[in-house]
Amino acid sequence: MLFTDLTFLYFHAIVVALRWWLPPRAAGPLLLVASYLFYLSAGPRYVALIFGATVFAWCVGLALSRATRPRALLGFAVAALLAMLAWFKYSAFAAQQVAALLHLPRPGFTVALPLAISFFSFELISYVVDVRRGTAPERSLWRFALYVSYYPHLIAGPIVRAEELLPSLRAPKPFDDTRFGDGVYILLIGFLKKSVLADRMAPWADAVFSDPSAHGTLGVWLGVLAYTGQIYCDFSGYTDIARGASLTLGLPLPENFDWPYLSTSITEFWRRWHMTLSRWLRDYLYIGLGGNRGGPLRQYRNLLLTMLLGGLWHGANWTFVAWGALHGLALCAHKLWDTALRGFPLAQRVRASRPYLLLAWAATLLTVAAAWVLFRAPTFARAWSVLLRLTHDVAGVGALGTPTPAAMRSAEYALLALVVGHLLALRGVGWAVHRALPPIARGLYWALIILVCFVFAETRATFIYFQF
């Protein structure tokens, strides 16, 4: 059940109607049933897996609160949850690598990836670690099961910690028209990002990455920028739909994006991009490795290891590891640069100047876009071919290749709209307009967004982050 399907809209509308019609004490059971029905819509194969993992983590949480050897129990729980994730996500990949290393025949087995396993595994790990750190465990199994399976955030995040959702589940909020209206607006903006912007950039990006040799420098540059815009609009669009849908149910979810392409450093980018994952990697991996303790060399080592594992979390492919390594090296380089200039007042004044900030923004965006090539390309050879085309005009600037130039123009218009959106975000225009309008005008504003989605939407099969 995709968020962009009419089936989901009907399903969610029914759940919203029941949520506010039934008494507050029925909200939890209703949402739990709805969440498992939502997961079942993708197939019944792995419902037992998510339920079994939920019961396991819940029992561990209760045991940790009174365990005599909590460290050993926590280690066992984290290892078990990671083993579950590793088996389904990386076992086939690992077998292929071992076979290639030993010059053995390529193994024929594959393991189907359960829906949302990367996200609910991290949420369960964060829960047991937080209980070990002193957070009170959740006593209600059904409430904990709802936290894990809650359908707006289940498939592709945001990665929600127990402390961010469980308090709202324990004490459901009464209906609030302002919160409900904000939810509708966020949901509509998510549809706009996904169906109008991301899906109009996708055909040109797909064409360039499938056959970069068919395009000249201009076409390849546009393809890389189109994917840069596509992955942001696709993933942040999903998050907006999730957050908006959840707000209409009276449950706020954490923000996951803060206009990351406005960043003026790679460090700032990771504070704005997939923020719930960034905070998870920081709090449960980077700090666990030692964080900033032990001097700069250990700090850089910890940072690089964190980003390597963060890249691997996205998928079983060496290109994801290389993408994480590139970001890790960029983060280390920025920290070195920041440390080297910290003692020079003149350098700090220059860094605060508008020309420097503009240059830093351009350098950051180009670094991020170049790294997306590794993220998108299926192999290193394909990634290298794309990167070469950015600087070597083998086919000629005017050789646009296939598909037709109409797909290129569509990507250009979508990128222009994304740039305008970022510029408006600097002024906070969107929310200012939404909240300043009276109810009737606000309804017309929503209708206009729906009309734009209806007229300009392109249909894509799924969201990019569903594969992770």
Q: In this structure, are 227 and 164 located in the same domain?
A: no
Share of the chain above pLDDT 90, in %: 59
Burial of 13 (0-12, 13-18, 19+ CB in 10 A): exposed
Domain finish residue from 149, 172, 195: 172
Instruction: Specify whether the CB–CB gap between 321 and 308 falls below 8 A.
Output: yes
In a domain, 107, yes or no: yes
Q: In this structure, are 211 and 251 located in the same domain?
A: yes
> Average pLDDT, stretch 431-436?
83
In a domain, 311, yes or no: yes
Q: In this structure, are 151 and 207 located in the same domain?
A: no
In a domain, 295, yes or no: yes
Catalytic annotation, residues: 314
Q: In this structure, are 213 and 144 located in the same domain?
A: no
Q: In this structure, are 347 and 428 located in the same domain?
A: yes
In a domain, 1, yes or no: no
Tens of pLDDT, residue by residue over 248-305, are 999 999 999 999 999 999 999 999 999 999 999 999 999 888 888 878 888 899 999 9
Instruction: Specify whether the CB–CB gap between 136 and 143 falls below 8 A.
Output: no
Q: In this structure, are 102 and 191 located in the same domain?
A: no
Instruction: Specify whether the CB–CB gap between 246 and 183 falls below 8 A.
Output: yes
Residue 393's pLDDT band (boundaries 50, 70, 90)?
Answer: low
Residue 395's pLDDT band (boundaries 50, 70, 90)?
Answer: very low
Q: In this structure, are 294 and 387 located in the same domain?
A: yes
Q: From the CA atom positions of the chain, what is the Rg in Å?
A: 23
Burial of 155 (0-12, 13-18, 19+ CB in 10 A): buried
Q: In this structure, are 87 and 235 located in the same domain?
A: no
Residue 404, pLDDT score: 57
Domain finish residue from 172, 188, 223: 172
Tens of pLDDT, residue by residue over 157-182, are 799 999 999 999 998 889 999 999 99
Token pair 């997939």 is found at 274
Q: In this structure, are 88 and 192 located in the same domain?
A: no
In a domain, 201, yes or no: yes
Query: Domain residues for 408?
Result: 179-467
pTM of the model: 0.91
Residue 149, pLDDT score: 95
In a domain, 434, yes or no: yes
Outline where 41-69 has alpha helix (H): 47-64
Nearest to 201 by CA among 326, 369, 359, 323: 369
Q: In this structure, are 185 and 158 located in the same domain?
A: no
Domain finish residue from 142, 172, 202: 172
> Average pLDDT, stretch 118-125?
94
Q: In this structure, are 197 and 71 located in the same domain?
A: no
In a domain, 218, yes or no: yes
Q: In this structure, are 164 and 203 located in the same domain?
A: no
d(CA 132, CA 134): 5
Report the number of distinct structural domains present in the chain. 2
Residue 357, pLDDT score: 92
In a domain, 420, yes or no: yes
Tens of pLDDT, residue by residue over 40-56, are 887 787 899 999 999 99
